[in-house]
């Protein structure tokens, strides 16, 4: 089995090298990688969230479909691939924004798409639960109003900075 390779960048998103992601993470904490996060919104204006399986590296964490951009792959190609791999959904995706996350050393692209499909968990190796939730209730849970759920750091940061932008996208009649 071939190890997955990804491209690494400097703090200004200039390409530096291509390497195995696990090896380079350990070798050089100053390099950045690219990631994608996908908001899927249904007709009720609810967002699809998913919980990673306990045997996955991000166990028991609620997030939106996401993943790393492979070497020589565009943000858009990665977003479509990750959405298909994690949910089985293939839809038109619109880029919302690219954000630089210092703590995780990532450049992350956020996309939005529309689907009413609640994905099937059968044969899903990464995810053990899916649900649709309103942005209002998601924000309420993230902000600690009685929720015992753990949420992905990038999702929390994105919502901190872009809540108004996301609300506009969600409430548009067509995505």
Across 5-26, average pLDDT? 84
List the structure tokens of 168: 């506009």
Give the SS3 label for residue 175.
coil
> Which tens digits make up the pLDDT trace of 66-124?
999 999 999 999 999 999 999 999 999 999 999 998 777 899 999 999 999 999 888 88
Q: Which residue has the tokens 């038109």?
A: 92
What does the domain layout of the chain look like in residue ranges?
Answer: 5-170
CATH class of 5-170: alpha beta
Predicted structure pTM score:
0.88
What per-residue confidence (pLDDT) applies to 14?
Answer: 95
Specify the range with the lowest mean pLDDT, choosing from 7-11, 19-23, 35-39.
19-23
State the chain's mean pLDDT as an integer.
87
What values do phi and psi take at 155, rounded to 5?
A: -65, -45
26-82 pLDDT, tens digit per residue, is 567 789 999 999 999 999 999 999 998 765 555 678 999 999 999 999 999 999 999
pLDDT greater at residue 146 or residue 164 = 164
Long-range contacts, 72-78 (Cβ 8 Å, 24+): 72/7, 72/18, 75/34, 75/36, 75/109, 76/109, 76/111, 78/34, 78/36, 78/109
What would the pLDDT profile of 135-160 be if each residue is shown by its tens digit?
A: 999 999 888 765 678 888 888 888 98
Residue spans of alpha helices (H) in 32-152:
75-87, 135-142
The angle formed by the CA atoms of residues 19, 23 and 151, to the nearest 5 degrees, is 100
């Amino acid at each position: 089995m071939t190890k997955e390779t990804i491209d690494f960048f400097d703090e200004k998103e200039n390409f530096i090298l291509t390497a195995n992601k696990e090896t380079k993470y350990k070798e050089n904490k100053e390099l950045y990688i690219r990631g994608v996060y996908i908001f899927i919104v249904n007709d009720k204006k609810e967002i699809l969230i998913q919980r990673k399986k306990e045997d996955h590296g991000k166990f028991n964490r609620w997030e939106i479909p996401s993943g790393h951009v492979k070497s020589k792959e565009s943000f858009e190609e990665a977003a479509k691939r990750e959405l298909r791999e994690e949910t089985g959904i293939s839809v038109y995706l619109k880029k919302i924004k690219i954000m630089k996350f210092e703590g995780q050393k990532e450049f992350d692209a956020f996309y939005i798409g529309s689907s009413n499909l609640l994905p099937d968990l059968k044969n899903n190796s990464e995810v053990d639960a899916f649900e649709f939730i309103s942005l209002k209730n998601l924000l309420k849970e993230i902000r600690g109003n009685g929720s015992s759920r753990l949420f992905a750091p990038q999702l929390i940061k994105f919502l901190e900075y872009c809540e108004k932008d996301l609300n506009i996208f969600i409430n548009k009649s067509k995505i």
